[in-house]
Each structure stands twice: as structure tokens, then as C-alpha cells.
Structure 1
Amino acid sequence: MACYGKCIETVIKHLDQFKPERDNPEQFLEAVSTSLQALSPQKQAFIMEVLSGCLEYRKLLTVVVDAFYVRDGRLCLWADYSLFEVICYLATFQLEELGFRLFSHIIKSQPLHKMCKFLGFLFNPLNLGSWIKDEWSLVYETAYVKENWIDPLMRWQPEVQELITQLQGVLTNQSPPSKTKTKVTEPKEFNLTAPRPRAIPVPEPVPEVAKTRPVPRSTYQPPREQQLLEVTKRHNRWKAEELLLRANIEAMRCAVPRTRGERAEGHSLLQGSPTPSVTAAPTLPQPNNAPVKLNTAAVLREAALYQRQVEKELQRVDKLVDGAGDFSEFLEWQKKMQAKDREEQLAAGECRRLQGKLSHEEAILARKQVELEKKQKAERQKEETAELMQQCAERRLQEERSVKELVEQVMETQKNVRAAQTKLLKGRRQIVQEVMEESRELLQRSAEAAKEEQRRRCELTAQLRALETQPTRKGKLVDLTQIPGYGLEGEMSIVELRERLALLKEAQQRKQEEKRDQIIRGKRAKSQELQNAVEQVALCRAANGRTAALRWEEKKAQSATAGAPSQDERVLELQRRIREKAAQRRGQGAQPHVSAPQALRPKPRVSRGSGQCCWGGREGARRCGGPGAAVGGGAHGRGGGAAAQREAQRRLELEQSRERRLRALVQEGMACGPARPLGAA
């Protein structure tokens, strides 16, 4: 590594001496070769090859190094400019010939932190593929740049990245270099009189802290009002659910014809006996009528609501007194229209259900069609893949032939390049001799200028030290009662300022006390108004509860007299289309199994929990519960066919009754919304 480091230092030194505006590259190289006669032939050839390459490709190297100083190397010294040029030349033009091992040795012989920065910038794929390629293409052809320089750098990028990580690990483990301390002037102490020892101060008494009160038990226990609210909430919910269940069962009993088992079930529900579908309510203690504490906003909002309702009612009474008409006819018409709307909603719900069933049948038919299309598409894809594989094999053979021809051409060009390099070295040696003489004169001039600058700096230092030794006054007497006399308005002494500030502070305290008293009086008046509003809200709530109970009884009577929804033309049309699609699907599914024996055909499965067959809906009713359908096959059909058929028929009827009951519950929830308000009231 030391050998490579010395060679690189020699190249950098000669590159710093080269001035393109006044030096000829060939003569400069000849002068350098004459000065390297004392070195071994191997070192001399390496130095001359690197130096000549840096001069030849100076434009390309300058583009990369200048961009490095602008972007990532802002803190690097400009004295290392030639070092970065040499490393860029070796990585771009000599990495293939040197080999990665020798290149890593050269990198390790240089300062590691500088090499990590520059190699990370140079071998960045984004930089190589974007602006470096574009800038080099302005000097050489784009195809030549990409093939000979950019692509090799991209190939070496993984190995160089590993080298960078290795160098960073060495830097983190390396201890910081010890800095040589410059000799500093050592001050000597003055021979002064020793001061008297200070007296030990008397310790201050430890203040006694007042004993803190223990934390009350109520901090870790929920308040009693919250427990009462929870009990009341559970009791009201259970009561509302019981009322809703009884109303729904009564409505279904009047509207839907039921079997004997369902009549017994409904009778048990009305009598209060527990059923499997309804859990018995737990025995809860009767809650106390504890008042619910509301915040101010809730009380005022509810009071304003009831006030608006009272004003509206008064306005309505005034209009009636003045001779306005009654709304009884309008209310009757409104009830009729609402009943008509409920019938339309039932028909629309049935249409949606049948449309979903129809779309399911259509999806099954479409899925079968898609499977056939996919099979045909897969066969076509296999044929196209075989043709593409054959074309790729032919193209690969042609590429191998072209690569062999290109290798032969490159070998011939390398032979011609070596002869041209020897001629170039001879011409450069002559230039080097001339440059050496001029460099000596420049060194003498620079030495004289440095001496003159050093003399001028010494004179300035002596003048500054003389100014520092002059004595200065360090103290100033201050009179707090004296006016400064700057000529400003309202100018006063510090003592007067303190007195005025004290008077201003007293006035502010008086204002704060008056404002505090005013706030307390306002709070008392507001609390009195809030208490009156709470009493008014309680009265209005009781009245609303009574009116809500009356409305619930009226709607309960209306729901009991409501009949089953009438059939619609849309529903009949959808049922007809569903039957056609189901027949078409069964026809397509039975085509591959026409000749299958009776014992191998699938059997419909009956679920244990719900009593539905595997086909579900009306189709399952037609297949499982029809007059000629058999529930089991084989020995089961022969042993108990009649009993199994009756059991399946009974389960099917139970399932249909449950569906009707669920549909009635949904419709009742849409039409009769105030079940929760009644329970809450």
C-alpha cells in the first residue's frame, strides 16, 4: 500500500504543476519521465500511464470532480482536486486492467473518509445514468460512452459498494488521531498575601411541613348516582324489549296464519313463559327515582326546545280562535297515503330480494361461460409461448456470433493503441524538461511573496499587542435618584419609577377585586335561571311521556289490523324470470350426468339447526318438500320414507313462518319507530 500511495502522490504533484493554458502536454510528460529515472521501471510505467491518461481525459474528469465539489464535497479541500481526478481516472479507465483487488489497495492507501465520499458519489447509479452520461455525451458519442464507460461502472457498482461499507467500518472503529499540542505560555501565580479562612456558616433550621390529609375513599369508588343510573338503564332496556316482543308477536298472530306448534309458542310468549329464542329477564331491584344530573348546555337546550313547542301550540290555538280550518281531513288523507307507502315499501323489498336471487342465478350461468373462455384462452397462450421460445433461441445464436466478431475487432485495436502510446511518451518527455525550468522560477517568486506576507503579519501582531496593554477604567458610579437627562418626554429617575410602578400595581389589584365580585353575582343569577329551567323541563317531560304512550297505543292498534302485503306485477315478473333461470341452470348442470345411475346422484342435505335443505328458499321447498320428493336415498328411503317426508315438510313450514315473522319485524321497525322513546318514557 505504501508503494501505491507514493506513486499516487507523485502523480498528484505533477498534475498540480501542469497548467493547460501555458504547458504543452507532450513536453510536460517528457520532462516528468526524465525526472523519474531514479525509480524502478514498473513504478515509472505506472506513473507515466496514469499521468498521461489524466491529461488526455481531463475534460471528462473535470466534469465529475467539479460536480462532486458542488454537491457532496463542499467541506473537502481544493488542494485534493488532483487526487479526486486520479481516482476518477483509475475507476473509469483502468479498473478492468488493474483488477478490483489492486484497485482496493490503491484506495486504502489514501485518506479513507475522502475516498468513501468520492466513491459513493461516482458509483451512484442515479448519477451515472443521468447527468454524468449526458455531460460525457457532449464530448464523445452517446453509444461509445454508454458501452465503454457507463456500463462497466454499473457492473462494478456492487463490489465498490462493499468496499465503501468496509472503509466506513474501519473509520468507525479507528480511534481519533491525537493532535500535537502547541507549546502554550505557562502563567505564574502572583505572590500575594494568603486570605483568612472563611467562618463556617450556621445551618438554617429545617422548616416543618404541614401534615397532608389522607385521600378520601370516594376517590377510588364510583359515585352512587352512577350505580343507580346503570340499574335504571338495564331495567328500562329490559322493559322496552319485553313490550316490543309482545307487540310483534301480537301483530304476527293477527296477520300470519300459523301452524299448531307456532300457536302454542305464541301462547306461551303471551302468557310470559320463557322460550328458546327469548331469554328471561333477570330479577333486578327496583331503582330509586334518583334525579339525573345534566350539564348547563343540555338543560338550556331542552328548555328552549319546549319553549318553542309551547309557542307553536299557542299560535295554533290563536289561529283556531280566529277561524282557521281543522286538519282532520288532511290527517286522514295522510294516514291513507302512509298505508299506501308501506305497501309500496313491502313490494320494493320483495323486488330487491327477488332481484338478488335472480342475479345469483345469472352469476352461476356467467361463471360457467367464463370457465369455457378461459380454457380456450389457455390453449392459445400455450401455442404462442412455444413460438416465442423458438424465436428466442434463434436470436441468442445470432447474438453469440456478433459477440465473437466484436472481440476479434477489439484485439486488433488494442495492438495499435500500444504503439501509439510509446510515440506519445517520447513527445511528452521533451515538454517536461521545459516545464521544470519554468516551475523553478515560479517557486522562487512564491517564496519571496510568502516572506513579505509573513513580515507584514508580524507588524500587525505587534501593533495589536501594544493596544491590548493600554489601561482601561473598569467601574462606574450610579445614582438612583438622578435623572439621566437624555431629553426624552416623561424622563424620571429610577426611584420615582419604582414608586409609580407600586401605585399602578395597587390600582390593578383593586380592579381585579371589583371584577371578581361582579362575576360572583352573575353566577348566582345564572344558577337561579338554570334551576327554573330544570323545573320547567321536568314538567314538559312528564307531559311528553303521556302523549307518547297514547300514540304508541294507537299505532299498536293500527299494526294489529294491518294485513299481508299485496302482490305486485314486478314481483310476479321477477318470480317468473327466476323460475326460467333456475330451469336453464338445472338443464346445463344435468347434461354431463344424463347417463349416470340413480345411486350416484347427489342427495339434498338438510341442516340440523334451521331446517333448510341445501338448495334453500322456494327452490329447496320444491325439491325437498314436494309431493313426490324423497328426502333420503337407498335404505333410508325404503325404511321410513313417509315419516321423513312429514318431518321435512314440518321443518320447511317452520322456516317459512320464521322468514315471515322476521319480515314483519323489519316492516314494523320501519313504520312504528317510537318503541325506544316509549321504553325510555
Structure 2
Amino acid sequence: MAYYGKCIETVIEQLNKFKPEKDIPEQFLEAASTSLQTLSPQKQAFILEVLSGCLEYRKLLAVVVDAFYVRAGWLCRRADYNLFEVICYLATFQLDELGFQLFSDIIRSQPLDKMCKFLGFLFNPLSLCSWIKDEWSLIYETAHVSENWIDPLMRWQPEVQELIKQLEKVMTNQSPLPKTKAKVTEPKEFNLTVPRPRAIPVPEPVPVMTKPKPIPRSTYHPPKEQEQLEMTRRYNRWKAEELLLKVNIEEMRCAVPRSRGTTLVQGSEKKLQLRFMPRILKTPKLTFYKPNNVPVKLNTAAILREGSLYQRQVEKELQRVDKLVDGAGDFSEFLEWQKKMQAKDQEEALAAGECRRLQGKLSREEAILARQLLRQGNKQKADQKKEEEVIEESRELLQRTAEAAKEEQKRRCELIAQHRALETQPMRKGKLVDLTQIPGYGLEGEMSVVELRERLALLKETQQRKEEEKRDQIIQAKRARSQGLQNMVEQISLCRAAMGRSAALRWEQKKAQSAAPGPPSQDQRVLELRRRIEESAAERRKQAASGPISAPRAPRPKPRLLRTPRATSVLSLRNLYGGACASAWRSGRDAGATRK
């Protein structure tokens, strides 16, 4: 039995080293075979066979072992998980090959109480024919499961039950260990030593402060660029004042006679020059720098959206060019017809918009009139019921106050009785706590504090390892995504330049069209709505003049929608900027390919 016990321990040690998320079963078995070279060939073959089977049918075995911990083995340690997996594998796959006698020896080499619980759970006929068969059928075919695994386990049912009874008898016949008598503590006298005289303490060294860094000169002195800008600004101001001075002198020369004007103008010119002369030295040469065009920073969504828009436009333009090359006809007649229809649609849209605006204005006038009439009626009703409402509210308020006082008094009496009852009960002041003991409340997954701490530590390590792997994946994905976005931004900048040129052309065309104003609308619906609005406004003013009524609340201003006529057709837009955008996109794509 010791022979099989050591083999099973070796298999459990190897299973504890296996990590499904990192290790590959084939490579793990090769590494395990190299580490077992010191054992005998018989031991090595048995250990490798059991280890490979447990790794191959890991999902199948996990179904039974997990259910065992939940239903019957909630008092067993989690460290025995791989032991139960090995026993389940031997019972399910190797029982016919090993024989019942060898299987019994292997079972007797392990802890008897754990084996009794697990074998009783595994060889339960109700479990085998119900949920175990159903769970295994989700992984493998039902016929294969029932023929190769369930039926052999049912055939070995009598022998296994007899083995369980024998193990229970052995457990009951084992005599308990004799209790060792605790040693009595013998008191001894204290061996006190004479204290030594205290030595004079060594003075602590005076801490030397580190020399602080000197304050940079830039803290108290402005930068050179600011001084240069100030000098440039003052010089430009002086030039402007000098030009204004010359203009004023010319005007004075025209107003003063020539004989006296020369001396007077010269004197005034000198005074003005002294007055407006700046107290700075004139620089020989000044250079004015213009700010560079700083590109607008786009986020990821804007870059992808604009890139896909330009890509669709380029594809449409290329399709149009391919059709023209294949011999498609000209769209000049269609464009003329389309312009006429657009002008007609624009006129109808303007008329419909004017109708909607006038209908809204009419409904507003009618609503104001109805609100005035309703306010007058409500005011009369409120004056009649005002006195009745005040009396009823005061009566209800007094009644609610009295009920609340009664409930508060009742609640206080109950609290006082509970406090007095708690004071009379005896209380235990001390309690011994064993962190390795299981409370035994009968809950699922109940464990001691020590085991809980170990599990939390393992869970924390696993979670930290997963976070590090996920962090590495995120960094790599960000790098790849930023490179793609950078390429797309370069393509978008080229397309944006082409779109700017085409937008300028469209703006010139739109400006030329809007220069010629159209004739006022003469639609019958518009004229009828205007007439109704005037009648409603007159009636509202008449109603307001009849009695002093507070002005209605002003409606919330609605956002104004820009009513633009229909845009030009897709063919006309392609004619304007399709070719330029396609060329810009091709150049950006070629540049990106070359850079890669």
C-alpha cells in the first residue's frame, strides 16, 4: 500500500504544478517524464499514464469533484481537489484494467474518511443515472457516455459498496490516541541580576541640512521673447504716431499763411515730435513673425468617421470615372432638369415653411386667448372656495399632529422595555477563538479563517497575474491603433485641403445665387393664415382691454433652424471636388504604404 500511496502522491504533486491558462499538456508531460527518470520503469509508466489521463479528461472529472465539494464534501479541504480527481479517474477509466483488488489497495493507502465520502458520492446509483450522465453528455455523446463509463460503474456497484462498509468498520475499530498528561508548571525563583550603572549617552550628531538649489534667474526676469515683443509693439506705435503727426502738419500748413506758416509749422512740428517721441532706441532691423497654422487635434472617433466619409466619396468618384470610361452618357440634360426641379422644390419648401410659421403663430394667439378666459374663471372659483379650504386644512393638520404624538409615545415605551429586558440578561465577557476551526453552521463552502486567508492570497495572486497580462495586451493594442490613426490623420489632412478648395467654389456659386432676391410668395395658404392671425390678435387685444389681467408667461424661445435649399446633387458635387479628393486620398495612401 505504501508503494501505491507514493505513486499517487507523485501524481498529485505534478497536477498541483499544472496551470491550464499557461501550460500545454504535451509539453508538461514531457517535462514530467524527464523529472521522473530516477524512478523505476514500472512506477514511471503508472504515474505518466494516470497523469496524462487526468489532464485529458480534466473537464469530465471536474464535473464530479466540483459537485462533491458542493453537496457532500463541504468539510473537506480544497487542497485535496487533485486527490479526488485521481481517484475519480481510476474508478471511471482504469478499474477494469487494474482489477478490484489493486484498486482496493490504492484506496486503503489514502485517508479512509475522505475515501468513504467520495466513493459513496461517486457510486450512488441515483447520481450516476441522473445528473452525472446528463453533465457528461454535454461534453461527449450520450451513447458513448452510457456504454463506456456509466454502465461499468453500475456493474462495480456491489463490490464498491462492500469496500465502503469494510472501510467504515476499520474506522470504527481504530482506538483513539491516548491523551498525554499535561505537565504542571513548577515555579522557580527569579534570578535577578544587578543592574549596571548607566553610561553617559553619546550626543547625537547635529543633522546637516542639504544645500538648497539656487533660485533660477528666470523667476525674476522676464523672457527675452517678451522683451522683443514689447520693443516691437512700442516701435510700431511710434511709427503710427509719426504718420499721424505728418498728416496733422500737412493740415496745419494748408490752414496757416505761407509767410508765417513755415516758422509756425516748423516749431509745432518740433514740439509734436518731442511730445510723441518714444523713449526707446530704434532697432535697425525688425522681423515680424506670423504664427504657423496649428493643426486641429482630433479624437479617435472623429478621425475614423472623417476617414470613412472620405473613403466613401473617393469610391463613388472612382465608380463614376469608370462608368464614363466604359462609355456612359452625359448628364447635362438631366442636370438642367434637376436644377429646375430643385428650384421648384425650393419654392414649395419656402411656402410650406411660411405656412408652418404662420400656423404656429395662429395657435399661439389662440392659446393666449384661451388662457386669459380660463384664468378669469379660475379666479372666480378660487375666491369662493378659499375660506372652506383653509378651515379643512387646519382641522386635518391638528388631527395628524395628535396621531403622530401618540405613535411617538408608544414607540418610546417599547424601546424602554427592550432596553430593560436586555439589561437583565446575563452576558459572557470572554470568548476563545480558534482560527483553524470550522464554525459548523451548515452553510455551503464553509471554511476556517486560516483557509479563507490562504484562498484569498491565492486569488489575489491570480488576479494580479491576469491584470498584468491584460495590461500588456492593452498597451500593444493601443500602439497598433495609434499607428493606424496617425496614418489616417495624414490622409484626412490631404482630403481636407481638397475639400476646402471645393467648398470655396461652392460658396462662390451659393453667394451668386443668393444675390438675386426672389419675388414674394403669393400662395393662397399663406395669405389665409396671415388674415386669421390678424383677426386673432385683434380679438386678444380687445379681450385684454376689457379687464386688467396679468400678462401670460412668455413662451420659451425655440432654436431657430436654418432652412437651406436642397443641396446640389451627388453628380454635381462629384464634378466639383471628386477628382481632387480622389487624388489627395491616393497620394496619402501611397505615402502611408511607402512609410510602412
Q: Could you tell me the TM-score, scaled by structure 2's length?
A: 0.31
Greater Rg, structure 1 or structure 2?
Answer: 1
By relative contact order (CA 8 Å, sep 6+), the higher-ranking structure is 1
Q: Could you tell me the TM-score, scaled by structure 1's length?
A: 0.27
